[in-house]
Amino acid sequence: MKKFTNARIYRQHDHASEILVDKGVITQIGTNLPEADEEIDLGGRLVVPPYVDAHLHLDYVYTARNEGATNTSGTLFEGIARWHDVKKTQTLEDARERALKGIEEEVSKGVQFIRTHIDVDDPKLTGLKAMLEIREQLRDNVTIQIVAFPQEGMYAYKGGDEMIEEALKMGADCVGGIPHFEWAREIGEKSVRRTVELAEKYGKLIDVHCDETDDVMSRFVELLNALVMIEGIGARTTASHTCSFGSVDNAYAYRMMGLFQKSGMNFTANPTENAYLQGRQDSYPKRRGLTRVKEMWENGINVCFGQDSINDPWYPVGNGNMMNILDNGIHLAQIMSFDELDRCLDLITYNGAKTLNVEDRYGIEVGKPANFLVLNANTPFEAVRQRADVLASIRNGEYLFKRPAPSYEIEIDLFRKTR
Ligand code: 17E
Ligand code: FE2
């Protein structure tokens, strides 16, 4: 038995400050809990559930400097073209090494839940094979979900839809799609229908790259939402990116918001990547690529953030630091009232867990696995303001890592003399 004391627990509204853990599970939360063999004093620091990266591409990581990978226009579409060449040189060993390194980088910054899209437009399914193996190997320490993602199209790539089906049979968790990349609107629509059919056929979750463009006529989110609402699988579905929804007119957005509430569909935004990739055909004013995150959040539509890219042909400077993603996201979305700042950690924790459909195993509650982070801050507001470091990541009651707290209370001579 282990007892974590002197904790400030995120979202815990009474003053409970102790967490008792037995065999990797939270058995009690409260004050003056029974003694335990091991007691760990957290010094009043904030304890939050692990970060969730709801949208990442682990097959692409660390390829930004590969031969032929340079994306000179900085657009999504050039990224796809560059990856087309890079992936031909990918080997199983190399895919494995890079993905492992990417996961390690994320875990070292407090992530324990990752949904990764894996490109299945590849006759050898190299990235998928590597990822399926890693998912099982790391299962105890990090929860990984795999999306069968047709990066070059379900129909624009010959046999793309069959590759997805194959990937689902091999064990991918979610069906993906990229309707805005298909060669005609009708084909994009056909791909969305196919995504939903495949999810039903194989009992999988859905996560579609949806409307990742500034083209306000790109409205595949409307069809995806309607289809999953009809099937009653909205909560099992995610629309990722939905950049163009940030540019549509308000009358359309208003109607759609009501329909999103009805379906219960989830949304994932990738603030850093889309700020970088979108608005490329704009002069000024220049759009910043983000969907209507603030309004979704205000209206009870589940929305969360993802890192998307770690050093790949789309975005070179991703590093798996979800606090950085949150920081960028709340700026771009203008989420900054004190009330919002107190709750916005949800966008990289609880809301992500809901998107991943792992809520039954997630959160600081009795009966759940003892998975949590200790942040170098005393309140949620200070955690966000200071972009607090993760001091410890605990999984099933054991440390994945812990690191000493850097002190901000150094004395600077100049200031001491002035006082
Ligand atoms: N592929 C895609 O379609 N969109 C992205 N943002 C990335 C890869 C990173
Ligand atoms: Fe993506």
If asked whether residues 88 and 194 sit together in one domain, one would say: yes
Q: Is the pLDDT of residue 271 over 70?
A: yes
Does the residue 411 lie in any domain? Answer: no
Taking the centre of ligand 1 as the mean of its atom positions, its distance from the CA of residue 75, in whole angstroms, is 10
Torsions phi, psi for 346 (to 5 deg): -55, -35
| Residue nearest ligand 1's atom 8 by CA | 314
The pLDDT tens digits of the residues spanning 90-132 come to 999 999 999 999 999 999 999 999 999 999 999 999 999 999 9
Q: What's the pLDDT score for residue 74?
A: 97
If asked whether residues 88 and 184 sit together in one domain, one would say: yes
Q: What's the pLDDT score for residue 242?
A: 98
If asked whether residues 43 and 137 sit together in one domain, one would say: no
The pLDDT tens digits of the residues spanning 241-258 come to 999 999 999 999 999 999
Please give the tally of structural domains in the chain.
2
Does the residue 246 lie in any domain? Answer: yes
If asked whether residues 321 and 217 sit together in one domain, one would say: yes
Q: How confident is the model at residue 413 (pLDDT cuts 50, 70, 90)?
A: confident
If asked whether residues 397 and 329 sit together in one domain, one would say: no
Q: Which atom of ligand 1 is nearest to the CA of 270?
A: 6
CA–CA separation, 274 vs 291, rounded Å? Answer: 9
Which residue out of 212, 222, 273, 340 is catalytically annotated? 212
Q: Which atom of ligand 1 is nearest to the CA of 277?
A: 6
Q: Is the pLDDT of residue 418 over 90?
A: no
Identify the nearest ligand to the CA of 61 by its number: 1
CA–CA separation, 225 vs 256, rounded Å? Answer: 9
Mean pLDDT of 31-53: 97
Q: Decide if 129 contacts 139 (C-beta within 8 A).
A: no
Q: What's the pLDDT score for residue 415?
A: 76
CA–CA separation, 373 vs 48, rounded Å? Answer: 5
Does the residue 15 lie in any domain? Answer: yes
Using CA atoms, how far residue 212 sits from 54, 170, 233, 291, 363, in Å, is 16, 28, 22, 10, 31
Mean pLDDT of 176-183: 98
Taking the centre of ligand 2 as the mean of its atom positions, its distance from the CA of residue 118, in whole angstroms, is 10
The pLDDT tens digits of the residues spanning 122-131 come to 999 999 999 9
Taking the centre of ligand 1 as the mean of its atom positions, its distance from the CA of residue 201, in whole angstroms, is 26
Q: Decide if 374 contacts 400 (C-beta within 8 A).
A: no
Give the chain's mean pLDDT: 97
Using CA atoms, how far residue 94 sits from 52, 89, 376, in Å, is 25, 9, 35
Taking the centre of ligand 1 as the mean of its atom positions, its distance from the CA of residue 212, in whole angstroms, is 8
Residues 6 or more apart whose CB falls under 8 angstroms from that of 217 comprise: 244
Does the residue 414 lie in any domain? Answer: no
- The enclosing domain of 44 has a CATH number of 2.30.40.10
Does the residue 413 lie in any domain? Answer: no
If asked whether residues 245 and 370 sit together in one domain, one would say: no
Q: Is the pLDDT of residue 410 over 90?
A: no
If asked whether residues 369 and 306 sit together in one domain, one would say: no
Identify the nearest ligand to the CA of 75 by its number: 1
Does the residue 410 lie in any domain? Answer: no
Taking the centre of ligand 2 as the mean of its atom positions, its distance from the CA of residue 405, in whole angstroms, is 33
If asked whether residues 263 and 387 sit together in one domain, one would say: no
Neighbours of 258 (CB within 10 A): 9
If asked whether residues 182 and 250 sit together in one domain, one would say: yes
The pLDDT tens digits of the residues spanning 127-159 come to 999 999 999 999 999 999 999 999 999 999 999
- Calculate ∠ Cα 210-216-219, nearest 5°: 40
Does the residue 417 lie in any domain? Answer: no
If asked whether residues 13 and 113 sit together in one domain, one would say: no
Q: Is the pLDDT of residue 47 over 90?
A: yes
The pLDDT tens digits of the residues spanning 208-230 come to 999 999 999 999 999 999 999 99
DSSP string, 32-74: SPPP-SEEEEEEEEEEEPPEEEEEE-TTTTT-TTSTT---SS-
If asked whether residues 343 and 281 sit together in one domain, one would say: yes
Neighbours of 123 (CB within 10 A): 10
Q: Is the pLDDT of residue 66 over 90?
A: yes
Q: Which atom of ligand 1 is nearest to the CA of 273?
A: 6
Q: How confident is the model at residue 409 (pLDDT cuts 50, 70, 90)?
A: low
Q: Is the pLDDT of residue 272 over 70?
A: yes
Q: Which pTM value belongs to this model?
A: 0.98
CA–CA separation, 56 vs 117, rounded Å? Answer: 6
The beta-strand segments (E) located in 204-346 are 205-210, 237-241, 266-269, 303-305
- The enclosing domain of 142 has a CATH number of 3.20.20.140
Q: Which domain, by its residues, includes 218?
A: 51-361
If asked whether residues 86 and 165 sit together in one domain, one would say: yes
Q: Is the pLDDT of residue 419 over 80?
A: no
Residues with CB under 6 A from ligand 1: 57, 76, 151, 178, 209, 212, 273, 308-309, 314
Mutate to test the pocket of ligand 1, among 210, 309, 311, 312 (most ligand atoms within 8 A of CB): 309
Q: How confident is the model at residue 405 (pLDDT cuts 50, 70, 90)?
A: confident
Q: Is the pLDDT of residue 408 over 70?
A: no
Instruction: Determine whether 78 is an active site residue.
Output: no
Does the residue 409 lie in any domain? Answer: no
The pLDDT tens digits of the residues spanning 282-337 come to 999 999 999 999 999 999 999 999 999 999 999 999 999 999 999 999 999 999 99
